[in-house]
Structure 1
Amino acid sequence: MGTNRWKKYKIEMLPIKEPTEIEELSLENLVDQILNAKKLDPNADTTALEREIDQMVYQLYELTPEEIKIIEG
């Protein structure tokens, strides 16, 4: 069995986008809603909220419909 080694220069090449303050607050709000729902009912269906987060991330990274299909496929 091998192990993955993450070299610093390779990690630095990853495209990490910084959300605006408004985007960050919106994401935090959605995450808080999911956490609260799960705290009240661990079986709560948070799929819609999770999809909203996905859409926000797709917008943040300016993904095309084709790229989104690959991710969701």
Structure 2
Amino acid sequence: MTGALAPTKPLTVADRCDRCGAQAYIRAVLVGGGDLLFCAHHGRKYAEALRSNGADIHDETDRLNETATATAPDDER
């Protein structure tokens, strides 16, 4: 998390990417108000441009590794 904005609630499975509809793991809080949600792919694609325009980026992509580890069969851990 960056910036001095109040923290937002964690993203859930119901939060979807504004570009493709996949599960969102990145929230960009815009300077003028509002936010954009992105999957990991689109979040990486747009994060720098959004950040350079003052957006506060909340990145929860580390949860992808937790999910993959938790759901992998025992012989793949």
TM-score, structure 1 normalization:
0.32
| Structure with bigger gyration radius | 1
TM-score, structure 2 normalization:
0.31
Q: Which of the two has greater helix per residue?
A: 1
